[in-house]
A and B are shown apart, each in its own frame.
Chain A
Amino acid sequence: EAAVTQSPRNKVAVTGGKVTLSCNQTNNHNNMYWYRQDTGHGLRLIHYSYGAGSTEKGDIPDGYKASRPSQENFSLILELATPSQTSVYFCASGDAWGDQDTQYFGPGTRLLVL
């Protein structure tokens, strides 16, 4: 069974503080993704990675950094958190090629920036 885990599951941060969201996958997938989900906007891609050491900008990367230190781990970093970054964040893993390509999502992290 494909598995993607996220930590923390819930986080309250202060404006201007640093927040790190972590994601771990045991699927041995090359690709990993960070999305945020907001009412009225759906899910939007923030950053993604094609493998250890690589990070790519998604559709809304401003205010976020990403780190992929290993095949299994992908972090999303908010250096200076702002209230507009209050959202639910989802991590996913997948491989872009293949007849049965799909993405597997983690349980999500609820972030509240005060």
Chain B
Amino acid sequence: GQQVQQSPASLVLQEGENAELQCNFSTSLNSMQWFYQRPGGSLVSLFYNPSGTKHSGRLTSTTVIKERRSSLHISSSQTTDSGTYLCALAGANTGKLTFGHGTILRVHP
């Protein structure tokens, strides 16, 4: 089965609302990364977060290893946050990433 599962598959917000994106994994974790992808664009790393909580502006990532989950919280969403958010699990000592299928976020003005 799929090693990395993301939810929800898609999400529609009004500007200013908060979003909580989830990533669950079924294998041992070396690191968890969150990426952002603009429609038709490349991937930009948001967080490298093997455990605990990290903040970057309006974004917060929390990884709980024992529960095999990671979340990405977006506060006060903006239309420019629209795009696809991908989480990726890196295996121990390989650097190889296994991606989830992503959450497509649309923020309406």
Contact = CB atoms under 8 A, between A and B. Distances in A.
B94 A96 contact: yes
A94 to B, nearest CB: 6
B45 interface: yes
Nearest to B96: A45
Select the residue from B94, B97, B98 with max chain A CB neighbours within 10 A: B97
Interface of B: 31, 33, 35, 41-45, 48, 86, 88, 90, 93-102
Interface residues of A, number: 27
A31 to B, nearest CB: 5
A18 B93 CA distance: 34
B97 A103 contact: yes
Contacts of B90: 96, 101
B95 A90 contact: no
Contacts of A74: none
8 contacts: A31-B95, A43-B99, A58-B96, A96-B93, A96-B94, A101-B95, A103-B33, A103-B45
A104 to B, nearest CB: 7
Nearest to A4: B42
Contacts of A102: 33, 45, 48
